[in-house]
A = this chain, B = another copy of it.
Amino acid sequence: MRTVDGEEFRWRLRVYYEDTDAGGIVYYANYLKFFERCRTEWLRALDLDPTRLLRETGVQFVVREAACEFRRPARLDDALVATARVARVGGASLTFAQQLWRDAGAAGAPALLAEAKIRVACVDARNLAPAPLPKTLAAALRRRDAPA
């Protein structure tokens, strides 16, 4: 489930009433919450949860761009898997390629529900000015990139 040093990180989610709307499906903005939970758990798997990052390095991540395609609706009680893959590493930003899948279940094969490209910038938490990626994170990304 948690492949940190692999290419793709996966995180399981469940759809609750809070996520849905009167159209009977998950409200479109809430897919972005699911994607963010997955990115946060990716960081946590690197031992860099947001609180620790802030305390130790004074930075936080803010989203600069989000482009999302909604292919099939997620529904109440669906078991989902969100994925995150670092598609691009900049000096002060990361771009994630993310997907949301409905889990294979009694209902059959897994289905791709949504895809997104999300660019997050690393900023100084005091003034939101751009800040270089924390060294531990940059090192972890290099390690992952190196031949095994």
Does the CB pair A60–B23 fall under 8 Å? yes
In the complex, the answer to whether A22 meets B33 with C-beta atoms within 8 Å is no
Is A66 a contact partner of B65 (Cβ separation < 8 A)?
no
Q: Are B28 and A25 in contact (CB under 8 A)?
A: no
Q: In the complex where A50-B77, A66-B66, A73-B128 touch, is A32 in contact with B33 (Cβ < 8 A)? A: no
Docked-complex contact B60 and A37, CB < 8 angstroms: no
Q: Copies of this chain, how many?
A: 4
Number of A positions contacting B (CB below 8 A): 40
Are B22 and A21 in touch, CB under 8 angstroms?
yes
Please measure, in the bound complex, the distance between the C-alpha atom of A136 and the C-alpha atom of B4, giving whole angstroms. 42
Interface string of A62-74 (1 = CB under 8 A from B): 1111111110010
Separation in Å of the A25 CB from the closest CB of chain B? 7
CB distance from A53 to the nearest CB of B (A): 10
Q: Which residue of B lies closest to A15 (CB)?
A: B22
> Do B76 and A65 have beta carbons less than 8 Å apart?
no
Q: Mark A60-93, 1 if CB is under 8 A from B, else 0.
A: 1011111111100101110000000000000000
Report whether A16 and B29 are in contact in the complex, using a CB–CB cutoff of 8 Å: no
> How far, in whole Å, are A37 and B21 apart by their CA atoms in the complex?
14
From 46 to 65 in chain A, residues with beta carbon under 8 angstroms from any chain B beta carbon are: 49-52, 60, 62-65
A16, A22, A23, A30, most chain B CB atoms within 10 A: A22
Closest A-B pairs by Cβ, 5 of them: A20-B22, A29-B32, A67-B67, A28-B63, A51-B77
